Amino acid sequence: MFVVESLGLAIFLCIITMMGWGSWANTQKLAGKEDWPFELYYWDYAIGVFLTGIVFALTLGSFGESGMGAMANLGQAAGGPIADALLSGALFNLSNILLVVAIDAAGMSLAFPVGVGLALVIGTLRSYLQAPKGDPTLIFAGVALIVVAMIMSALAYSKLPPMAGRRLGRGLLFAVIAGCLMGSFYPMLVQAVSPGFGTDAIQPGYLTPYTALLYFGIGLLLSNFIVNTVFMKAGGRTYSRYFRGGPKLHSLGVLGGLIWMVALGLNVIAAGVAGPAISYALGQGATLVAAIWGVFIWREFKAAPKSATPFIVLMFLGYTCGLTLIGVATL
């Protein structure tokens, strides 16, 4: 299987993760402009994640001289790590669909900084306690600045005048719930992977990063039959409408899932060198990327008064400085 040996490459992969995790939601925004409800979009997103997990296992997970090939690893995997990877996918699925609801209600500029920012804080702290790596002072200082940036984002959004279709309370509530759940999926996924997979032999019963990603995708897709069906019934959506959707609409969801899952795969691989806490924290710098999309491309603060500007500036400064400190913590 393919492994990362260089810290520089690991940090680079984390930056790609940041770009992917911060950009996939643009496909949902595009689907929404075509009057394609988020519940229907999310089915294609889940399929995209699942298919990408298969591709990872059959390609990077099966070639190379390091570790263990995906097929061999599947044959020796124990129930505990498999369950962790499956549950991680199911937990992320629930949290992410709540984040999608928040984006649908209030936009990327609020949902990502609050929801994913909260997930960053929880996931980083849990991952560090699970596998301490990096300077804790810099890591925790970076996390503190990100918390400040989350608060600035919510304050900036509160300055927006009432607008049709904008539901601040609903968006904020779902973003917070999504963040609390999302912060737990990554540590659960990482604990299914064999410790030291980049340099040591795969321990009996544990998964390689690639088989863990495969089971993650399976858990996400299977749980979607329960989670998304509930949301579809609540929203009055039907499966018949889903199957009436054209190739363009379906491709947007699949593309969104592919982008997100590629980013996760690169992040898990990078964690072998950078450490799970730093790898996850840098990847969740997606909040900054998504805020840039929301503010400058989708113009979600177009109607905001000048009093919102200082909060927007402080939000960007908080995220930039916080992520910089977390990145430096690896040195």
Q: Is the pLDDT of residue 166 over 70?
A: no
Q: Does 2 fall in a domain?
A: no
Residue 212: pLDDT over 60: yes
**Domain membership flag for residue 1:** no
* Token digits of residue 171: 């968006």
Residues ≥6 apart with Cβ < 8 Å to 23? 259, 286, 289, 290, 293
Q: Which of 260, 226, 236 is nearest to 91 (CA)?
A: 226
228 domain residue, yes or no: yes
Structure confidence by residue, pLDDT tens digits, 13-29: 999 999 999 999 899 98
Instruction: Give the pLDDT confidence score for residue 81 in this predicted structure.
Output: 98
| pLDDT for residue 165 is more than 50 | no
Give pLDDT, residue 164: 42
pLDDT tens digits along 70-84: 999 999 999 999 999
State residue 165 phi and psi, 5-degree precision.
85, -10
Q: Is the pLDDT of residue 64 over 90?
A: no
User: b vs e for 129-162, b when ≥16 Cβ sit within 10 Å of the residue's Cβ?
Assistant: eebebbbeebbbbbbebbebbbbbbbbbbebbee
Share of the chain above pLDDT 70, in %: 98
Check: pTM over 0.85? Answer yes or no.
yes
Cα Rg of the chain, angstroms:
19
CA distance linking residue 82 with residue 98, whole number of Å: 25
Average pLDDT value for residue range 190-210: 94
Inside any domain, residue 253: yes
Q: Considering its fold, how many domains does the chain have in total?
A: 1
Q: Examine residue 222 and state whether it is found in any structural domain, yes or no.
A: yes
Calculate the average pLDDT of the chain. Answer: 91
Q: What is the largest CA-CA distance in the chain?
A: 60
Least confident of 27-31, 135-139, 296-300: 296-300
